[in-house]
């Protein structure tokens, strides 16, 4: 890998990957929404270009001359909050993924790496579990699943290598979305006692720096048309993670379990297995959940001015 294109390069995962690539002396063409490049460092190895997902084909002339060999696609609208349930948007994301694969092939890239999610597996299980009524959060998972299945066929037809990185749950410094780890740490900073489901469902969390390193290694060493789980290799019931967070950053608070109903499905620990990722790429997470929570708390205090 000598030069990489990264969509969503100013986002939480995308910006972390850009930094990881530059650290490894890889040139980066960072594609961002116009005017949004504040998370990207200034570096001679980085070029910043504007991207509108519904007009991605218009980048052909500009990117063709660059000679990039790998295309990382992280741009995905509505990955957090209420837009996760927006069916039109999530279906559009799937189509934009296909548009990016076509662009990657047309400009000469030989590899296409997508940021998938373990929620694709959960979505399938929740949807086809007889009698289960999936929550609206699975609309997002369905969009990822649709993108995944269509991308394989299109990439095979175009003869471009497709590698799919499936993130368990990324968290850490740089995230501002209202997802679980971020929201819970913010409550702890404010001295609030957070409330959860019983927390018996199996879960995994992986720190953002590890996620970025995983995608770099997957791009370098991943086998075509393979999926790679990106996790901590320490999956366990959610309650155990949350108690680990409590011990690390808020031992004086009470973490309340059981008051909020859980409407999803409990996946076996085997679904979070990262053995194949390690065997093919050498990736293994380095940052523990307790350490990652401390880093994230300290950063949130800094940006919000809380004491």
DSSP state of 131: T
| Residue 30: inside a domain | yes
| Cβ atoms of residues 138 and 126 within 8 Å | yes
Angle at which helix 138-158 crosses helix 119-127, to 10 degrees, equals: 110
Alpha helices, H only, 159-193: 180-189
Quote the CA–CA distance of 230 and 204 in Å, as a whole number.
10
| Residue 163: inside a domain | yes
Enter the tokens of residue 71. Answer: 């295309």
Strand partners, 109: none
Same domain, 191 and 115: no
Question: Model confidence over 94-143: pLDDT tens digits?
Answer: 999 999 999 999 999 999 999 999 999 999 999 998 988 888 989 999 99
Question: Model confidence over 46-97: pLDDT tens digits?
Answer: 999 999 999 999 999 999 999 899 999 999 999 888 999 999 999 999 999 9
Same domain, 192 and 110: no
Same domain, 46 and 95: yes
Quote the CA–CA distance of 224 and 114 in Å, as a whole number.
12
Quote the CA–CA distance of 8 and 232 in Å, as a whole number.
23
Enter the tokens of residue 17. Answer: 């990957």
Same domain, 56 and 36: yes
Same domain, 282 and 159: no
Q: How many domains would you assign to the chain? A: 2
Same domain, 130 and 265: no
Tell me the pLDDT band of 305, cut-offs 50, 70 and 90: low
Instruction: For the chain, give the mean pLDDT.
Output: 95
| Residue 120: inside a domain | yes
Same domain, 237 and 91: no
End-to-end CA distance of the chain: 44
Question: Model confidence over 196-210: pLDDT tens digits?
Answer: 999 999 999 999 999
| CATH for 295 | 3.90.25.10
| Residue 218: inside a domain | no
Same domain, 129 and 196: no
| Residue 226: inside a domain | no
| Residue 225: inside a domain | no
Same domain, 123 and 261: no
| Residue 211: inside a domain | no
| CATH for 81 | 3.40.50.720
pLDDT of residue 81: 85
Question: Model confidence over 232-247: pLDDT tens digits?
Answer: 999 999 999 999 999 9
Question: Model confidence over 154-165: pLDDT tens digits?
Answer: 999 999 999 999
Domain residues for 298? 173-203+233-307
Determine the length of the chain.
307
For 37, list phi and psi in degrees, rounded to 5. -140, 20
Same domain, 51 and 125: yes
Measuring CA to CA, which residue among 260, 250, 248, 257 is closest to residue 186? Answer: 250
């Amino acid at each position: 890998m000598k030069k990489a294109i990264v969509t969503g390069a100013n986002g939480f995962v995308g910006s972390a990957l850009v930094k990881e690539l530059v650290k490894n002396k890889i040139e980066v063409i960072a594609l961002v929404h116009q005017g949004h490049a504040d998370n990207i460092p200034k570096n001679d190895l980085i070029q910043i270009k504007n991207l509108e997902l519904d007009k991605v084909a218009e980048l052909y002339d500009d990117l063709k001359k660059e000679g990039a060999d790998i295309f990382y696609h992280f741009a995905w609208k509505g990955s957090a909050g209420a837009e996760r349930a927006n069916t039109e948007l999530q279906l559009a994301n799937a189509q934009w993924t296909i548009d990016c694969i076509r662009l990657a092939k047309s400009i000469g890239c030989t590899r296409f790496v997508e940021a998938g999610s373990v929620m694709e597996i959960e979505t399938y299980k929740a949807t086809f579990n007889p009698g289960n009524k999936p929550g609206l959060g699975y609309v997002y998972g369905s969009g990822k699943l649709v993108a995944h299945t269509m991308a394989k066929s299109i990439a095979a037809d175009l003869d471009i290598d497709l590698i799919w990185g499936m993130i368990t749950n990324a968290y850490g410094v740089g995230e501002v979305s209202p997802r679980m780890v971020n929201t819970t740490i913010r409550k702890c900073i404010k001295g609030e006692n957070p409330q959860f489901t019983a927390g018996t469902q199996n879960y995994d969390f992986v720190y953002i720096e590890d996620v970025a390193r995983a995608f770099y290694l997957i791009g370098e060493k991943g086998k075509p048309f393979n999926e790679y789980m990106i996790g901590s290799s320490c999956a366990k019931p959610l309650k155990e993670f949350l108690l680990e967070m409590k011990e690390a950053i808020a031992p004086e608070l009470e973490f309340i379990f059981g008051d909020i109903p859980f409407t999803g499905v409990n996946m076996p620990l085997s679904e979070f297995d990262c053995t194949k990722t390690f065997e093919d790429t050498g990736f293994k997470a380095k940052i523990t959940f307790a350490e990652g929570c401390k880093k994230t708390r300290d950063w949130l205090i800094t940006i919000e001015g809380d004491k």
